């Protein structure tokens, strides 16, 4: 079983729409959770960390459900510039980070 | 601003050649990582290092070795390149801030390696 699983999409949404991505992880001892964004042919960059109580950064909201071992990312009022691949990342008790395969988002004018 | 640099953006090598990929970070991070990224497979960890001269195998270490002689530099070596090592190679670094503290990875721009 993979450490981290994501729906690869693609998600094609109109500008202004709200879109949500989910991600599940297998190791209940996982400690740190992140969403990264990766543009085509670029390196991944941190979008936001995910905290136990949930957190928001502008149009982006991240939630963590430890009981069900899933993480979500909600994007409100989608912009064209939000088009990218979103990577779910989980770190367990060691030094290793585990990446999902990514969810592709295209925002359409 | 954290900066992670990689020696080449694009590299073309022949089967059997020894290949060196270099990564340098300027933020005094303890941890450094090498990944490869392939379509449909995501990022897979090859090796990581949590200190100078220390290394640990990741998920796919076969055919690769690493070297970390200085804190800021982490090298990935393909001893004898093969066509199935054609991929995007990404280096990352992260600090160690203590237990229970979130810390993220910072990535270099990647090296797209083609082995013919």
CB-CB contact of A52 with A66 (8 Å): yes
pLDDT at residue A38, as a whole number: 96
Asked if A79 and A60 touch (Cβ cutoff 8 Å), the reply is no
Q: How confident is the model at residue B103 (pLDDT cuts 50, 70, 90)?
A: confident
Backbone angles phi, psi at B63, to 5 degrees: 90, 0
Mutation target vs B (from A29, A94, A99, A104; most B CBs, 10 A cutoff): A99
Contact B43 A44 (CB under 8 A): yes
Length of chain A: 109
Nearest to B104 among A43, A46, A96 (CB): A46
**B51: chain A residues, CB-CB within 8 Å:** none
User: pLDDT tens digits, residue range A39-91?
Assistant: 998 999 999 999 888 899 999 999 999 999 999 999 999 999 999 999 999 98
Q: Which helix (H) or strand (E) is B23 found in, with range?
A: strand B19-25
- How far apart CA A93 and CA A60 sit, in angstroms, is 27
Phi-psi map region of A31: left, alpha, beta (phi>0 left; psi -120 to 50 alpha): alpha
pLDDT recorded at residue A2: 82
Residue of chain A whose Cα is closest to the Cα of B30? A95
Q: Tens of pLDDT along B23-69?
A: 999 988 889 999 999 988 889 999 999 899 999 999 999 999 999 99
Question: What band does A9 get if pLDDT is binned at 50, 70 and 90?
Answer: confident
Confirm if A40 and A20 have CB atoms less than 8 A apart.
Answer: no
Residue B27: how many CB atoms within 10 A of its CB?
13
Percent of residues, chain B, with pLDDT higher than 70: 93
Q: Identify the closest residue of chain B to A44 by CA–CA distance.
A: B107
pLDDT mean over A34-42 = 94
| Strand order across the B4-6 sheet | B4-6, B19-25, B73-78, B64-70
Would you say residue B72 has pLDDT above 80? yes
User: Searching chain B, which residue's CA lies closest to the CA of residue A88?
Assistant: B42
Mention every residue, 6+ apart, whose C-beta is less than 8 A from residue B82.
Answer: B15, B63, B115
């Amino acid at each position: 079983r993979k450490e981290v699983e994501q729906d690869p999409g693609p998600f094609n949404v109109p500008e202004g729409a709200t879109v949500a991505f989910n991600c599940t992880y297998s190791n209940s001892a996982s400690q740190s959770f992140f969403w990264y964004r990766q543009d085509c042919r670029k390196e991944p960059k941190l979008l936001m960390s995910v905290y136990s109580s949930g957190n928001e950064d502008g149009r982006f909201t991240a939630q963590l459900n430890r009981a069900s071992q899933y993480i979500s990312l909600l994007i409100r009022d989608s912009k064209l510039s939000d088009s990218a691949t979103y990577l779910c990342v989980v770190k367990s008790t060691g030094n290793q980070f585990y990446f999902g395969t990514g969810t592709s988002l295209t925002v359409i004018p | 601003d954290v900066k992670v640099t990689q020696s080449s953006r694009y590299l073309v090598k022949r089967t059997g050649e020894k290949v060196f990929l270099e990564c340098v970070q300027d933020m005094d991070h303890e941890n450094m990582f090498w990944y490869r990224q392939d379509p449909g497979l995501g990022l897979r960890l090859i090796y990581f290092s949590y200190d100078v001269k220390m290394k640990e195998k990741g998920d796919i270490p076969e055919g690769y070795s690493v070297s970390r002689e200085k804190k800021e530099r982490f090298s990935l070596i393909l001893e004898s390149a093969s066509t199935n090592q054609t991929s995007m190679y990404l280096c990352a670094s992260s600090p160690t801030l203590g237990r229970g503290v979130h810390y993220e990875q910072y990535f270099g721009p990647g090296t797209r390696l083609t082995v013919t």
